[in-house]
Structure 1
Amino acid sequence: MKKTLVLSAALMTLVGFSSFAEERTLIDFTTLKADIAIWPEDYDGERTENQNKRTIMDYATAAGASFSSEQKSLMKSSLALDEWEVVLNSSAQNVGSLARSVVKAAPVSENSKQPFAGSEVMGVRVVFPSGAYNANAKIVPPFNIPAYEPYSVADDNGDRQKAETAEGESSGPKYLFEADDPSDKASPAYGLVKNVGTIKKIAVTTMGMNFPHGLWVLISDADNITRRYFMGYLNFDGWKTLEWNNPDYITEVRTREIRIYPIYPRGEPFAKFEGFQITRDASHIGDDFIGYFKDVKIIYDKANLTSERDIADEDLWGIIGRRESARQALEMSRFGNKQVNRYVERQKMAVEENFTPSLSSDGDSNAQSNGGQGADAK
């Protein structure tokens, strides 16, 4: 009987240690399909679906009073795949590369053997310089993903509504870019995972095209520090999961440095997706790079063990709420100013593709042909 109790205690200890590690999908690009139309992408007036309802953000609050209510209603952006950007390093920037380096939604064939057949993944085109010098490009979201944006449901116009349960309590996750169900390991996040301690592993599902370039994942933390994680080279063909294993991860608990932090009011640590980085060596081929990405996953230690407490500390003191509200206001201000400036620049852009026909004195248009010469030109 005594031996049985000892074995049971040892088993419970092992289960306790294994429960510290969690696996989560940090971001799944198949969930970022454009499914609502905020403004016409085509200038013929047709409303094209161009934003993702789940991740849409309204930056009209950062716009000045000079904008009309109609203009402010269009000041929205999301993590829809076509909204992501390619940022080239300074030595790789030229007019052609900047214009042709883009991110697009890439449909996966229905006949694919992958479990995500028929979905849309992230497709990336980067135009590297052909000269013999190093270059790199970052694939980043259209805005810095807010870590403290409260969750709410958006309608088909991109306006967020306060979601209520039958009991009148707020439903859904606490933060907008967390998973729909943070307690479900299979529920993918939208670039934000809370309660993250030490990261043990990172995995990226990507389709290689035999390019010799290197792939890095960029992840930031609650201290606003962004770290690069080298995933490997893309010199393979087909779908593959590239993994980074933390070389400094200590599996033996007795050799770990134990640090004790106050449980309250310390903020909850998090991991936030900042993008990819593609590095091209000077000795490798330049010009076009094509890549496809499905998701990013992490295995990590919990920063804090969640448990029921006798007193609701935050309800009583509200310290974390005030801190996070201040951070959220700062994040929205930075995001809004950038997006408003882009909106103004978009409004100034020329939309005409061709010249209007010239009219003769009787009101008829003169046909132009032969490279702009008259129809009778020899």
Structure 2
Amino acid sequence: MKKTFVLSVAGMMLLGASVFAKESTLIDFTTLDADITIKAQDSDVEIPENSRTIMDYGVAAGATFDQDQRDLMKTSLYLGDWEIVLNSSAQTVGALANSQVVPAPVRESAKVPFAGKNVMGVRIVFPSGAYNANAKIVPPFEIPAYEPLSTADANGNRQPQTDEEKASGRTLFEADSDDSPAYGVVKNVGTIKSIAVTTLGMNFPHGLYVLLGDTDGVTRRYFMGYLGFDGWKTLTWNNPDYISEVRTREIRIYPIYPRGLPFVKFAGFQITRDASHVGDDFIGYFKDVKIIYDKAELTSERDIADEDLWGIVTKKESARQNFEMSRFGNKQVNRYLEKSKMATEASFSSSLDENSTSNAQSNGGQAADAK
């Protein structure tokens, strides 16, 4: 069984840092299309979701919910489910109602490798007043780092793990292979060297940040630059503290076992609008986020299968997985309850006979909204 070990000081001095650097696609929004629909047994309402990233939060619901309600307690990283979180002073009724994330189809004739696919389309309504504002574009739930890899059926129900899925050692939101994009989580990350975002600029002067979470539960933001350009562009953040020469690095030695693999996960974007710039609508499009990083550990065969013997890492990761799932489930159930209580009527039912000659002409007056 493969286990991890940390290179010795001598080994690191002999090899250049570039040997360990790796590029990975942290998240690719073209992979988050809706490919299944969720609906209750006795309902015609269909909810689009992404089967690869779908999560069932019905397991955190209480006993008062029936099966039809539990069938709808699912969500995924489908682009239409992402959210806009405005700072408190920018949370006007109009801004909250109209700020949204949608799948944005790229024209088939576009001269980009992802022509014909959907990217993330964002509309944010900033205040028109002359004061600073910002908005975060966040996934519908905090992407879990320890969710077991498994497939989902056409109704979004997770199937039992196969032996092949268990043997892969990968979790649900990791990449399927080293050459494919991840779904928000990359593991075995040491020092981040660079971050890149592929985006379509529309001459907005606003700033763009990438938000990344780590193993310690800390979310950091990285300034990618300003969006004041027209067309597709890759914005890059380079770590100013990255040391390429191994001989000048501070070498740290860690115990070989037990150590869980450090990871980063995508926590969203942040758009900042300066008080001196025009407010109101912001429109943006995003294709993917990539990172270049040093590996935290190398893998190799060891003479003794430490984890099979002690099970320490498995126990720690199971505890983290249970914590993530309970927090995710409680939040989503509360949202489901709030949504269920919302008014669905678009207009009043009439107390009059529709065709009565006593009724006033329909165009003879205009209703006024209460002030």
TM-score by length of 1: 0.88
The structure-2 alpha-carbon separation of the partners of 1:369 and 1:362, relative to structure 1 and needing over 3 Å to count, comes to: closer
> How far is the alpha carbon of 1:92 from its aligned partner?
0.9
- Matches of 1:63 and 1:218 in 2, distance apart? 30
1:376 maps to which residue?
none
Q: Secondary structure at the match of 1:271?
A: strand
The structure-2 alpha-carbon separation of the partners of 1:153 and 1:171, relative to structure 1 and needing over 3 Å to count, comes to: farther
> How far is the alpha carbon of 1:18 from its aligned partner?
3.0
Say whether residues 1:64 and 2:57 are aligned partners. no
> How far is the alpha carbon of 1:125 from its aligned partner?
0.5
- Matches of 1:275 and 1:76 in 2, distance apart? 20
Matched to 2:176, the amino acid is: D
The structure-2 alpha-carbon separation of the partners of 1:60 and 1:230, relative to structure 1 and needing over 3 Å to count, comes to: same
2:220 maps to which residue?
227
The structure-2 alpha-carbon separation of the partners of 1:138 and 1:365, relative to structure 1 and needing over 3 Å to count, comes to: farther
Between the two proteins, the alignment pairs up a number of residues equal to: 353
> How far is the alpha carbon of 1:138 from its aligned partner?
0.3
Say whether residues 1:313 and 2:306 are aligned partners. yes
Say whether residues 1:202 and 2:201 are aligned partners. no
- Matches of 2:61 and 2:154 in 1, distance apart? 22
CA RMSD for the aligned pairs?
Answer: 2.4
Q: Deviations over 1:294-342 (max 9, x none)?
A: 0000000000011111211111111111111111111111111110011
- Matches of 1:24 and 1:35 in 2, distance apart? 24
Q: Percent identity?
A: 72
Q: Secondary structure at the match of 2:170?
A: coil
Unaligned runs of 5+ in 1: 1-12, 374-378
- Matches of 1:35 and 1:249 in 2, distance apart? 41
| Equivalent of 1:239 in 232, 239, 263 | 232
**More RCO (CA 8 Å, sep 6+):** 2
| Equivalent of 1:143 in 141, 156, 162 | 141
Q: Secondary structure at the match of 1:170?
A: helix
The structure-2 alpha-carbon separation of the partners of 1:169 and 1:278, relative to structure 1 and needing over 3 Å to count, comes to: closer
Do 1:358 and 1:366's aligned partners in 2 also have CA atoms closer than 8 Å? no
1:5 maps to which residue?
none
Q: Deviations over 1:26-85 (max 9, x none)?
A: 000000001111138xxx93535x110000001111111111122112101100001000
Unaligned runs of 5+ in 2: 1-13, 367-371
The structure-2 alpha-carbon separation of the partners of 1:358 and 1:310, relative to structure 1 and needing over 3 Å to count, comes to: same
The structure-2 alpha-carbon separation of the partners of 1:179 and 1:355, relative to structure 1 and needing over 3 Å to count, comes to: same
Matched to 1:176, the amino acid is: L
Q: Deviations over 1:197-236 (max 9, x none)?
A: 0000000000000000000000011011111100000000
1:179 maps to which residue?
175
Q: Secondary structure at the match of 1:307?
A: strand
| Equivalent of 1:288 in 263, 281, 285 | 281
Do 2:39 and 2:71's aligned partners in 1 also have CA atoms closer than 8 Å? no
1:279 maps to which residue?
272
Matched to 2:30, the amino acid is: T
